Structure 1
Amino acid sequence: MRKKFWKLHSWLGLVCGLGLLVIGLTGSVLVFHQEIAKTLHPDEVLNAPLSSDSQRLATSELTTRVEKAFPDFWIRGWLFNTDSEYRDRAYLMKRDTDDWYVLYIDPYTAKTSERPLPYDETIYGWFVRLHYTFFADHWGMGIAAFFALGYIILGVSGIYLHRPFFKALFRLRWGASARILFSDIHKAVGIATVPMNLILGITGAYWNIAHIAHELIEHAHEEEEPMANEYAGTTERIDSLSAIAEQSIPGYALNYIYFPTEEEPMFYLYGQHPGASSFRSLYGSTIWVSAETGEVTHSSDLREAGFWAQVTDAFEPLHFGSFGGVTTQVLWCLAGLSPSILSLSGTLIYIKRGRRKKGRRTATAQPSRPSQQRIPCETT
């Protein structure tokens, strides 16, 4: 059984190695994407310095200014930044297209980026697409899900193969052969990061598989999704959404609005219930509000949701390590680097082991030298 696990672990590591390296490195960047954007593009993502009397402008005023400044676009979603240092993000769609753009806007001054950016041109959007889809849309999501499942199997098989892990965790035999040193590094890194890696693998695989399953179900019932058209009465009701949400879920923190369309005249609100723990996402409690009547047609308080809904809502802080502040983010960032080390060390171990076996076979195949070799005499 142990030999079979070795083969499974080795071959799966070779097959998934490069993909996991890309996913791990991009994941490490995404953990600190806001801090990276703040350093590289402070004028674009940061608000102006706030004074003691600074107040957010009304959302209707912000949306009106955005649409006047960029008449070729219309707003599909609005992300309220929970950190006052960073700007809000408006998600726009270019008219008569299905192309998505992002615009950063200061909610206190209404100052915006110079232009809406295609989603892939933002640091976050570029790394997200590479991390989850390898720039291959749904096919890429399937491939990423396969690598995530492989990562889970690698973690479980690694635990089985190195059950007395405490003996190998801090042992690095620098004076030994390269194969032994690579093996020690591989075991130490794998064992130290296995809890985080299992979390990353399970949450990532779930998201991608759930998305693919949703798309398959949707396409089975719809021949072709029509192009969305702007709903004309968005601005008239948008400022009342917070009050409507408060009546539905007292203490509700509104974090994201998905705007209505002519085909679907509904505001979709995503936020948090009051007193939400750090293991809760920013979007776990949802409210649907009719854009035509202002009536709440659906309300879901995460506190009253089922067990599985609460588990999957915790996946976001668990996946990005945000539940423990900077400390867990640093740990998750380091865990994201581990696939690179494991892929490299595992490949080197495989190569060294292959050369060693080849050397043994060659030595066995050579005939032993006789003690006395008879040389036939040449006759004339």
Structure 2
Amino acid sequence: MTFKKINAWFHLWLGLASGIVVFVLGITGCILVFEQEIKSMTSPWLHAEKPDGGKYLPPSVLVNSLQKQVPGKEIESIWYHGEGRTAHLNMHESDSTAYVNPYTAEVVALVDHEDIFHFFKDGHYYLWFPKEIGHYVTGWGTLIFFLLLISGLILWWPKRWNKKGRDQSFKIRWRAKFKRVNYDLHNVLGFYSIILALIFAFTALMMSFTWFNNGVYWMAGGKNKPRLEAVSDTTTNIRSNVMVQVDKAWHKGIHEIAEHNPLEILMHFPEKASEAIYVCTDMFNGTWRDVYLDQYTLRELPASNKRVRDEDLASWIRRYNYGLHVGLVGGLPVKIIYFLASLICASLPVTGFYIWWGKKKKSAKKTKPRVI
């Protein structure tokens, strides 16, 4: 058996094995790429009108306002989303997310956090299986898809680079019979989307498998570092007021730590005396910076991330992986391109199955015995 036949066999059966996974990931990816834009248009509680002379209010003010409306609920975190947007607060053991005007402290809405996008994310991450099972189903399905892209490129490669060969590889014969059009949709569109499809698969594998993530990190020159715990020093000022310290950490995050989009900041409140105040800032192009502050001294702890510009190549790849996967690196034009590429990826199992089914029917006709 020649290499070409082995590769074709490999492409066929792995395609059949992973087809449903790839189709679901592609369709849900099309929807999720515009999640924020769709939410912005359909969810009025995400927007906040800024009054004349209005200024951002610190976390303690928004927390106090919310606790008056939902007494007894413990608030875990707050996320300021920038100018003209509400801040959202997460409550412990609650199905609702609170949206509060950061200029007036008015509680705008209490919304169930399991919206329609939660359904699509569950399909994209776990194929609607339980998390423990679905994580591996989508992960290994993505790995198979990655291998299929390579084998597909080999199958696509023209035998001859003359005009006929180029036309067959780069053009869709729209006026041909449906069977030929379907073949071209699989072959030609698969080629045009292959770079982005490889990016989708590669970045997904980085998030799915620790061994793959660590392997890429090592090949990029990264060195294993001990995991540092973010722990506050309880011997310094254990009687300090937590929300007073959170307000100070918020002010420090906006005015001293943040370099990009300083008004977009996420904070998680410490629940224990030894926990640090978590500050997430520099949300830019799909990356962010995790900063841990001692809740008593507000000293930045060693467990905090460096600024992206100070990272080595291996850490830079890890930090930008999510942004590359979801198309946050170039604004709306890139998202539109990602949408089209994801739609093509979803179509490949469908067109590929039809190619296989047509050959199977043709083969069955040839082997059908003649009646004498």
Q: TM-score, normalised by structure 1?
A: 0.78
Give the Å deviation of 1:348.
0.8
Do 1:169 and 1:192's aligned partners in 2 also have CA atoms closer than 8 Å? no
Give the Å deviation of 1:10.
1.6
Do 2:65 and 2:107's aligned partners in 1 also have CA atoms closer than 8 Å? no
Write the deviation string for residues 241-297 of structure 1: whole angstroms up to 9, x where unpaired.
145447974747462222212275211222229xx6x4xx341x2221122443322
Q: What does 1:267-306 align with in structure 2 at a 5 Å threshold?
A: 267-272=277-282, 278=285, 281-283=286-288, 285-298=289-302, 299-301=304-306, 302-306=308-312
Q: What does 1:95-174 align with in structure 2 at a 5 Å threshold?
A: 101-117=96-112, 119=113, 121-135=114-128, 136-164=130-158, 167-174=167-174
Distance 1:232 1:101, change over 3 A: farther
Give the Å deviation of 1:76.
2.2
Distance 1:102 1:188, change over 3 A: farther
SS in 2 for 1:73: coil
SS in 2 for 1:268: strand
Give the Å deviation of 1:26.
1.4
Amino acid aligned to 2:89: A
Amino acid aligned to 2:305: S
User: Equivalents in 1 of 2:348, 2:360: separation in Å?
Assistant: 18
Distance 1:343 1:67, change over 3 A: same
The answer to which of 253-262 and 179-188 deviates more is 253-262
Give the Å deviation of 1:116.
4.5
Do 1:142 and 1:212's aligned partners in 2 also have CA atoms closer than 8 Å? no
Q: What does 1:246-257 align with in structure 2 at a 5 Å threshold?
A: 249=257, 251=259, 253=262, 255-257=265-267
Give the Å deviation of 1:68.
2.7
User: Equivalents in 2 of 1:57, 1:39: separation in Å?
Assistant: 25
Distance 1:10 1:88, change over 3 A: farther
Distance 1:346 1:209, change over 3 A: same
User: Equivalents in 1 of 2:118, 2:191: separation in Å?
Assistant: 32
User: Equivalents in 2 of 1:104, 1:154: separation in Å?
Assistant: 44
Give the aligned partner of residue 350 of structure 2: 344
Give the Å deviation of 1:346.
0.9
Q: Give the alignment's Cα RMSD to 1 decimal.
A: 3.0
SS in 1 for 2:24: helix
Q: Kindly name which structure, 1 or 2, has the bigger radius of gyration based on alpha carbons.
A: 1
The answer to which of 335-344 and 296-305 deviates more is 296-305
User: Equivalents in 1 of 2:22, 2:240: separation in Å?
Assistant: 45
The answer to which of 160-169 and 302-311 deviates more is 160-169
1:91 aligns with 2:99: no
Do 1:37 and 1:123's aligned partners in 2 also have CA atoms closer than 8 Å? no
Do 2:65 and 2:106's aligned partners in 1 also have CA atoms closer than 8 Å? no
User: Equivalents in 2 of 1:18, 1:207: separation in Å?
Assistant: 20
Name which of 19, 22, 25 aligns with 2:24.
22
Amino acid aligned to 2:315: A
Do 1:91 and 1:100's aligned partners in 2 also have CA atoms closer than 8 Å? no
Write the deviation string for residues 33-90 of structure 1: whole angstroms up to 9, x where unpaired.
1221233222x22223x355332222221122223322343222222214x2432222
User: Equivalents in 1 of 2:240, 2:337: separation in Å?
Assistant: 47
User: Equivalents in 1 of 2:352, 2:276: separation in Å?
Assistant: 52
Do 1:17 and 1:339's aligned partners in 2 also have CA atoms closer than 8 Å? no
Distance 1:53 1:326, change over 3 A: same
* Unaligned stretches of 5+ residues in structure 2: 159-164, 215-238
Give the aligned partner of residue 193 of structure 1: 193
Give the aligned partner of residue 231 of structure 2: none
User: How high is the sequence identity, in percent, across the aligned residues?
Assistant: 21
Deviating beyond 6 angstroms after TM superposition, the runs of 4 or more aligned structure 1 residues are 211-214
Amino acid aligned to 2:179: R
Amino acid aligned to 1:240: K
Do 1:93 and 1:101's aligned partners in 2 also have CA atoms closer than 8 Å? no
Do 2:207 and 2:213's aligned partners in 1 also have CA atoms closer than 8 Å? no
User: Equivalents in 1 of 2:103, 2:367: separation in Å?
Assistant: 74
Do 1:24 and 1:340's aligned partners in 2 also have CA atoms closer than 8 Å? yes
Give the aligned partner of residue 220 of structure 1: none
Distance 1:134 1:250, change over 3 A: closer
User: Equivalents in 2 of 1:127, 1:88: separation in Å?
Assistant: 24
Give the Å deviation of 1:162.
0.9
Do 1:57 and 1:107's aligned partners in 2 also have CA atoms closer than 8 Å? yes
Distance 1:282 1:85, change over 3 A: farther
SS in 2 for 1:288: strand
1:5 aligns with 2:7: yes
Distance 1:87 1:282, change over 3 A: farther
Give the aligned partner of residue 239 of structure 1: 247
Distance 1:129 1:74, change over 3 A: farther
User: Equivalents in 2 of 1:31, 1:233: separation in Å?
Assistant: 41
Write the deviation string for residues 118-164 of structure 1: whole angstroms up to 9, x where unpaired.
x3x22443322221123421321121111221221121111111123
